[in-house]
Amino acid sequence: MYATSYHRASSVEDAVKTKATHDEGKYLSGGMTLIATMKQRLAAPSDLIDLRHIPALRGIKVEGRKVTIGAATPHADVAASRELKAVCPALCQLAGHIGDPHVRHMGTIGGSIANNDPAADYPAGLLGLGATIVTDRRSLVADEFFIGLFETALEEGEMVTAVTFDAPEKAGYAKFNNPASRFAMTGVFVAKTAGGVRVAVTGAGSDGVFRQAGMEQALAGNWSADAIANVAVDASKLMSDLHANAEYRANLVKVMAKRAVVSAC
Amino acid sequence: MGVEGIGARVTRKEDKRFLTGKGRYTDDMTAPGMRYAYFVRSPHAHAKIRSIDVSAAKAMSGVIDVLDGRQLLADGIGNLICGWMIHSKDGSPMKMGAWRPLAADTVRYVGDAIAIVVADTLGEARDAAEAVVIDYDVLPAVTEAVDALKAGAPQIHPESSDNLIFDWQIGEPDATDQAIAAAAHVTEIEIHNNRLSPNPMEPRATLGIYDGAEDHYTCYTTSQNPHVARLVMSAFYNVAPENKLRVIAPDVGGGFGSKIYIYPEEIVCLWASKKTGVPVKWTSDRTEAFLTDAHGRDHVSKVKMAFDADHRITALKVDTIANLGAYMSLFSSAVPTYLYATLLSGQYAIPAIHANVRTVYTNTVPVDAYRGAGRPEATYLLERTMETAARELGISPAELRRKNFIRTFPYQTPVIMNYDAGDYEASLNAAMQAADWAGFEARKATSEANGKKRGIGMSCYIEACGIAPSAAVGSLGAGVGLWESAEVRVNAVGTIEVLTGSHSHGQGHETTFAQLVAGRLGVPIDSINIVHGDTDKVQMGMGTYGSRSGAVGMSAVVKALDKVEAKAKKIAAHLMEADEQDIVIENGELKVAGTDKALPWFQVALASYTAHNLPAGMEPGLKETAFYDPANFTFPAGCYIAEVEIDPDTGETDIIQFVAADDFGNIINPMIVEGQVHGGIAQGIGQALLESVHYDANGQLLTASFMDYAMPRADDLPSFNLSHQNTPCPSNPLGIKGCGEAGAIGSPPALMNAITDAIGNNGLTMPATPMKVWQALHAAH
Ligand SMILES: Cc1cc2nc3c(=O)[nH]c(=O)nc-3n(C[C@H](O)[C@H](O)[C@H](O)COP(=O)(O)OP(=O)(O)OC[C@H]3O[C@@H](n4cnc5c(N)ncnc54)[C@H](O)[C@@H]3O)c2cc1C
């Protein structure tokens, strides 16, 4: 790791101001990605602005069917939240299968979506739920927020403060683990929302998380695993790597989508 | 015997310190003035070094010095060597390419060490390493052994024009070919044994300390055999004469073979300590471990197995290409030859065997022994072939094996080994019963009804442990003898230290060796300490690998104990005015048999040291040394059965049950044996389902972290169903065979046989990842 300076932000304003005065600085949330990258010397921020001690960034609020999750809320809190489980158990289940217990107690939802790893779970969850990402300066719908591999709509210095969504009528998530990293080799989140059926796929797309329009249409007419059996999955837009080629991933997209539908509640 | 003697489930004495974080590993060691090393390594798989410029790095903050291969060469530090000479079938010696501890003109794999930076902190050393400027002339690289043999492949060493290291054979080529020509059936198969990264929990580390006043070196290192390290470093690398070099391997967190060898870092840190005048410590990070720890396996073989009309094997012909990587590591030549081809008879009476082995240089990490070393390759090849043959012949895999088992001992195979004892059918029967083999078809039907594919597979392995009779291995090319030493040192108050040349890095010697002594003398196990891993404390020894510590190391302790007991009996007889022949040692006392006369053990010990009243002419003291040279290899064997269920939608394999029925000879501590088997099977399942080293076409390591190299985790593994059918080993005093590698040897073919049974496609290579199984399923339909 290269030398860096640490700042503990006391409020969102404090953090954004500190960031503004340090061009080469970075927000630090759970550090599960950032610290590891720094240790490998692949990132060299001059300053780290720690968000984990800002009370406003942490916690889960459920008001009726409106859910708000603070950006610095660790995965373990999301997995264990009774209030959230009552309205959207699929997201609890998703969070409960991220990494291992250490990672779940450190890693945060804000860090995960700001990082937008193409194999991360939350991007599928939030895109599938049609969530809104709230930042220090604006609100963005998930469809606009997730742009590509490790790429989001966040501007320089912009901070995610929360995510919000209306609890869906039904939702399910099925993940096929990469055998080595246990990130999603393919993960599919399906949701029946007020705005319609949404199907979001992570771990598979060569441009990161994406919506599967064919499956959305099929499920809108007939919410069942059978409905998607004949939907074509285009392998040409999927990733190929050591662990899975595009053809196999195309198969997984379909199998995981079916399982997500079957498990949806 | 007794509650702490041989056969007892004594909890491990060493676990308190390990489980409470009080282990003392090399990286825990410090020395006054110690500084940190970082190695500059090649980012290219194959390149000429045009120039190395360290001037900017040397000027950086905290840097003590930056040293490279030119200075090392000038100081006369020798090349790394392979210690086992193999001759090609044309009589020519193996072609050993020069392996400089720091490459000066050519780099041959990504990770090849080029320079060492010594600085006040690790961070500063690493910063400076990035400032070392090296101008490379990048050359084409080759990573697959089969490709390296092709005409026009990049030439890796000047010593070998075609990358061939040796072309060796064993057995009878003519008799084998004739039997194949005359066979009723010949099974042909190509076998791939995947390349593995050892990944011990503790990465390699070393601390080199040069003491200018004494002109003396101390080397702390993560070694499985510190005396061998000292011998090699002084005899071949000219670091220092043995009496000026102390090697200490303190607590070592796993080795699996990868810590047998001498690597560049130990030598370079010792040398750098003298050059810089400060103690120099290097600790590998995990990526460096993937890049530089010797890998295991990596064979491609063509196999022909011939049968007569009665399904008896008449011949086996094997043609193997083994990838040895960029340089010949310490024992690399022995692994695909004498540790592999000599086991190709397996548990079967095969009248004619011929194996040809070509070893090859590639631009990859050196390949050497990894848990099982050669024997997993032989077992995988044979047991996949047997399974394939059974399917082709339309008979049950168990029947085919039964028909061909060796049943009388000793049995001389056509490939050197002389099996001394075994009962292969006993393990086969026990395993089939434990697995409820007979009920499989019904379970398969249930799986089918649930849309799953169920398969069952077995593997009957044999291996050779307790390496090895020194004269025998010497005649086969080994540069060392493979005996073991022990000293039993009884203190004046009767407590005991056992100094052993074996080295424990997870095996639990501090418990099992103490059990042997506690059982023999009837003294409490807590009064016995096992001392190992320090060349200043312990007499010359050969270290731990190849499941040899029980069979060879403990046999040396037995010999030393025999001498100690004989002397103690003489003293006791003298003190009690009895006949020496009548003295027995029991429950911590020396008794005159048939009387109530007895002396406690500590009194005899004390008498030996006060020396006030010893038999005439007897030397004071109670301390004996013994060297034990084994009479033969030992031959653990067994039968493993795996039952799997495969999800045809995803290709995922679920291991429903795993049965291991082993013959390890006599068992010292069943709990430790079970632990060894569990760990071995976990590694075998890792090889079969998960693990594989991958390089890209340019020789870049793709699996350089746990993000891409899939290690087995607890939830990848089933509960193991273990049993033992032990036939005592007649070749050593304790009847021990060894259990450290069996799990890793026997399990991969059992799993692959089960998976190929389930999917009905035999053309599957390890690791059987979900994608590969899914593809094979679709190819089969
Ligand atoms: C062993 C391991 C296994 C894992 N397995 C999985 C898995 O299975 N599935 C999965 O989805 N993830 C997995 N992860 C990733 C983990 O879940 C974290 O979510 C992820 O590492 C990022 O979250 P973090 O809070 O640690 O962010 P950090 O590492 O602190 O930050 C990541 C990036 O986001 C930026 N950032 C952080 N917070 C904000 C914010 N509020 N606003 C703007 N930018 C911000 C940082 O500057 C940095 O660039 C795993 C990680 C590890 C180490």
How many angstroms is it from A32 CA to the middle of ligand 1? 5
Identify the H or E element spanning B76.
none
Instruction: Indicate the pTM of the whole model.
Output: 0.96
Q: Say which of A1, A180, A251 has its CB closest to residue B710.
A: A180
For residue B773, the chain A residue with the least C-alpha distance is A248
Distance of residue B60 Cα from the nearest chain A Cα, in angstroms: 14
pLDDT single digits (tens) B587-625: 999 999 999 999 999 999 999 999 999 999 999 999 999
- Report d(CA A207, CA A189) in Å as an integer: 17
In chain A, domain spans: 1-56, 170-264
Residues of chain A with pLDDT under 70: none
pLDDT of the residue at B1: 44
State the average pLDDT over residues B696-706: 97
The reply to whether CATH 1.10.486.10 applies to domain B483-628 is no
Distance of residue A254 Cα from the nearest chain B Cα, in angstroms: 10
- Fold match flag (B31-139+201-254+259-292 vs B483-628): no
Mutate to test the pocket of ligand 1, among A13, A24, A37, A103 (most ligand atoms within 8 A of CB): A103
Residues of B contacting chain A (CB within 8 angstroms): 123, 126-127, 130, 287, 649-651, 690, 694, 702-703, 706-711, 769-771, 774-775
**Looking at the domain B31-139+201-254+259-292, which fold is it?**
Aldehyde Oxidoreductase; domain 3 (3.90.1170)
pLDDT single digits (tens) B403-462: 999 999 999 999 999 999 999 999 999 999 999 999 999 999 999 999 999 999 999 999
- Report d(CA B235, CA B248) in Å as an integer: 18
What value of ipTM does the predicted structure carry? 0.96
Query: Which 3 state secondary structure label does DSSP give A55?
Result: helix
Which residues on B lie below 8 Å from A251 (Cβ)? 649-650, 774
- Report d(CA B76, CA B63) in Å as an integer: 24
Q: Looking at domain B299-467+632-780, which CATH architecture does it have?
A: 2-Layer Sandwich (3.30)
Q: How many residue pairs from chains A and B have C-beta atoms closer than 8 A? A: 43
Homologous superfamily (CATH) of A170-264 is CO dehydrogenase flavoprotein, C-terminal domain (3.30.390.50)
For residue A254, the chain B residue with the least C-alpha distance is B649
Indicate the CATH number for domain A1-56.
3.30.43.10
Strand B583-586, strand B589-592: pairing: antiparallel
Whether the ω angle into residue B468 lies within 30 degrees of 0, i.e. cis, is: yes
Mutate to test the pocket of ligand 1, among A4, A6, A32, A140 (most ligand atoms within 8 A of CB): A32
Output phi, psi for A224, to 5 deg. -160, 160
pLDDT single digits (tens) B459-501: 999 999 999 899 999 999 999 999 999 999 999 999 999 999 9
pLDDT tier for residue B780 given thresholds of 50, 70 and 90: low
Strand B453-462, strand B637-647: pairing: antiparallel
- Report d(CA B157, CA B153) in Å as an integer: 12
pLDDT of the residue at A26: 98
- Look up residue B447 and give its amino acid: S
pLDDT of the residue at B722: 98
Cβ atoms B652, B689 nearer than 8 A: no
CA of A37, closest atom in ligand 1: 29
DSSP codes, B424-481: HHHHHHHHHHHTTGGGHHHHHHHHHHTT-EEEEEEEEEE--BS---HHHHHHTTBSS-
pLDDT single digits (tens) A102-157: 999 999 999 999 999 999 999 999 999 999 999 999 999 999 999 999 999 999 99
How many angstroms is it from A158 CA to the middle of ligand 1? 16
Sheet holding A139-141, edge to edge: A60-63, A66-70, A160-166, A132-135, A139-141
Which residues on A lie below 8 Å from B707 (Cβ)? 180-181
Query: Which 3 state secondary structure label does DSSP give A185?
Result: strand
pLDDT single digits (tens) B718-754: 999 999 999 999 999 999 999 999 999 999 999 999 9
Q: Look up residue B462 and give its two tokens.
A: 């044999």
Residue A242 at interface with chain B, using a CB cutoff of 8 Å: yes
pLDDT of the residue at B2: 57
In chain B, domain spans: 31-139+201-254+259-292, 299-467+632-780, 483-628
Residues in chain B: 781
Mutate to test the pocket of ligand 1, among A12, A33, A134, A139 (most ligand atoms within 8 A of CB): A33
Secondary structure of B625-648 in HEC code, one letter for each residue: EEEECCCCCECCEEEEEEEEEEEC
Q: Say which of A41, A176, A243 has its CB closest to residue B650.
A: A176
- Report d(CA A184, CA A243) in Å as an integer: 11
Q: Can you state the angle between helices B264-276 and B226-235, rounded to 10 degrees?
A: 60
For residue A3, the chain B residue with the least C-alpha distance is B123
* Mean pLDDT, all residues of chain B: 97
Radius of gyration of chain A (CA): 18
pLDDT tier for residue B3 given thresholds of 50, 70 and 90: confident
Which residues on A lie below 8 Å from B769 (Cβ)? 179, 243
Output phi, psi for A248, to 5 deg. -65, -40
Q: Is the CB of A32 under 6 A from ligand 1?
A: yes
- CA proximity to B435, closest of B454, B458, B453, B452: B458
Which residues on B lie below 8 Å from A248 (Cβ)? 651, 771, 774-775
